[in-house]
Amino acid sequence: MNNSIDPGDVDWKAVHSAIRWNKPLSEVGQIVTSPSHANCVDTGNGNYPIHIASQNGHLDLVTWLVNHGARVNVQNGTGQTPLHMAISYEYGEVADFLIKSGADGDIKNNDGNPAMFGIEGDKDPSDPMNLLESCRTSKQALEALYSLKIKAAKNPGGLDKGQIAMVGMQVKKGNKNLGKGKWTTQCQEAFTEVMGML
């Protein structure tokens, strides 16, 4: 990669377009030839390429950008980091990669919401509903359902049965994170038990 390119000489629109449309890495590599390209800023909203790749769930591009100099804790015009976006748009693998690459979950956006809670601050990582929505393995689904069971036992009226049913059905069918077929018989039994408690 060429490290001597002036950031002002980078065609950020071409870079951002290639990332947004998930162009093949071979094509991205012809456009992003320096850390200046990997960190070029949209002059309108302050997004970097890694913001776009993160909000669209393009794990291969997020990985490629980080490996080519993209900074993981950059903030756009409203203070969002790539992690805010990955969490809000429920791209768990992207969020995991960003965290492993040094993303700071405590960085706050302009509204005061830490990255680990997403853009709107509504993705509490300890909330059982968020755990269920973002589970990537059968084990994680069971852990989320167990947490919901405990919460239902303590306060059955404090949970929205319709919302739990809707999320459970989405996860069962295969969401962005939990592939089809990973919702096991054991998961279904635990889900049925939680629903019966409400």
User: What are the pLDDT digits (tens) for 43-80?
Assistant: 999 999 999 999 999 999 999 999 999 999 999 999 99
Q: Report which of residues 7 and 99 the model is more confident about.
A: 99
Q: What is the pLDDT of residues 10-36, one digit of tens each?
A: 799 999 999 999 999 999 999 999 999
Q: What is the pLDDT of residues 111-157, one digit of tens each?
A: 999 999 999 999 998 888 888 888 888 898 899 999 999 888 888 78
CA distances from 171 to 110, 138, 156, 184 (A): 32, 10, 22, 11
Indicate if the pLDDT at residue 102 is higher than 80.
Answer: yes
Please spell the DSSP secondary structure of 10-43, one letter per residue. Answer: --HHHHHHHHHTT--HHHHHHH--SHHHHT---T
Cα 99–138–104 angle (5° rounding)? 10
Q: Give the three-state DSSP class for 55.
A: helix
Q: Summarize pLDDT for 147-193 with one digit per residue, the tens.
A: 999 888 888 788 888 988 888 887 777 666 777 778 889 999 999 99
pTM of the model: 0.76
